[in-house]
Structure 1
Amino acid sequence: MADQKIHLATLTNNIKTCISIVLDYNGTQYNTWSTLFQLHCRIDLVIDHIIPKVVNEKEKAPKTSDKDLWQRLDDIVRQWIYNTISNDLLNSIIDPDGKAIDAWNRLKNFFLNNKSARALHLDAQFTNTKLDQFEGVKPYCSHLKSLADSLRNVGDPISDNRMALQLLKVLTEDYRPFWTSYGI
């Protein structure tokens, strides 16, 4: 029996323990999901399956010594992508003959293209989010923070002042002293 090396990526039994976010069409978690996914791929030495190395023009593209291993690792990364997104997104990007980089780029394009339209949609969500849609102030604040992060990531950041005003405008009479500080 030949001496086979075990690759780190083959040891991940459940990607959801490493990336607990499920990316969905709403996309408010895209940047967080993307960051966690890239971090996991770097740790498991498979980042080049979603972000290819830049090769100097004078150098030849690096050749993989074991094409079967490369294909297996690519399938593992593609499976990680598929297992960390919603069924609706999965149905939109799945390709039985695709590669991990294809799935990665489809998601990236979906969430980062049309930044203006995405910013308008996210801004409307931010502006129209109400406290009574949530089970308390903490989930409300978390949702606003997520929307603000998504807006920043499409090039339309929310100022600290606007965030504070959005948070304060939904508070009850018990919080009236905070209102006068902001001129509400």
Structure 2
Amino acid sequence: MGDNDPKSTPKSSLHPVYTVTNIQNKVRVLDGAKVSYASWVNLFTLHARGYKVLHHIDGTPAPAQTDPLYDAWYEIDAHVLQWIYGTLSDELLPRVLEPDSTAHEAWNRVKNIFLNNKGACAAILESEFHNLKLGKFPSFDAYCQRLRELSGQLKDVGAAITDQRLVLQLVRGFQRI
């Protein structure tokens, strides 16, 4: 049986999910700007794999409600759902929060927010990336950080920026305006 199979954990031992006291110490809050969707997914899935709950977000079917393992699965799913909610920005949380949701359903709602309308999002982000100027920022570091953020967001919507293009935009943005 696999690491993510709840049947592989002996009943007498404490499931690793119960050892997490603050998910934000492990996974940063997804806001879509400072923390990109792709980064959040990578961190969250790594964390879920390590704590043996990946099967709660990867589409693995839940046990039947008549299965003796269902109650334990349902309780653990509530913890994973809290992890998801606890790592969303205040702006994203109301769009994902649903009563009687499973972790997998919430996971898919987050995914849909970031991956629907890719073309329109890419066009808006591309325009902002292209028009970014150093003069609009309080420091060079802030300018570079915004370029990195936009690059990550463009990657999330399937419009990745090459390193060469990133450097060209960095230099191009030195123009005063």
TM range (shorter): 0.7 to 0.9
What is the CA-CA distance between 1:151 and the residue it aligns to? 1.3
Residue 182 of structure 1 corresponds to none
Aligned equivalent of 1:143: 146
Q: Which residue of 1 aligns with 2:22?
A: 14
Q: What corresponds to 1:50 in structure 2?
A: 57
8 Å Cα contact 1:23-1:33 kept in structure 2: yes
**Counterpart amino acid of residue 74 in structure 1:** D
Match of 1:97 in 2: 100
2:127 aligned residue:
124
Contact 2:32-2:153 at 8 Å conserved across structures:
no
- Unaligned 5+ runs, structure 2: 1-10
Cα distance change, pair 168–5 in 1 and its aligned pair in 2 (3 A)? same
Shift of 1:28: 5.8
Q: 1:39 aligns with which of 35, 46, 49?
A: 46
How far apart, CA to CA, are the structure 2 residues paired with 1:132 and 1:7? 52
Quote the residue 2:165 is aligned against.
Answer: 162
TM-score (norm 1): 0.78
Contact 1:25 1:88 in 2 (8 A): no
The alpha carbon displacement at 1:169 in A equals 2.1
CA contact (8 A) 2:134 2:173 kept: yes
Q: Which moved more, 1:160-169 or 1:29-38?
A: 160-169
- Distance, in Å, in 2 between the alignment partners of 1:89 and 1:8 is 27
- Determine the C-alpha separation between the residues in 1 that align with 2:113 and 2:79: 22
Tell me which structure has the larger Cα radius of gyration.
1
Cα distance in 1 for partners of 2:90, 2:156 equals 24
CA contact (8 A) 1:16 1:84 kept: yes
Deviation at 1:147, TM superposition (A): 1.4
Q: Any idea what SS the aligned residue of 1:88 has? A: coil
TM-score (norm 2): 0.81
Corresponding pairs, count? 164
Q: How does 1:105-116 map to 2 (within 5 A)?
A: 105-116=108-119
Choose the corresponding residue for 1:83, options 79, 86, 104. Answer: 86
- Please say if residues 134 and 175 of structure 2, whose CA atoms lie closer than 8 Å, have aligned partners that are also in contact: no
Percent pairwise identity: 40
Letter of the 1:16 counterpart: Q
Measured against aligned partners, the alpha-carbon deviations of 1:74-126 in whole angstroms (never above 9, x if no partner) come to 00011001011112211111112110001100010110111101111211221
- Cα distance in 1 for residues equivalent to 2:164 and 2:47: 35
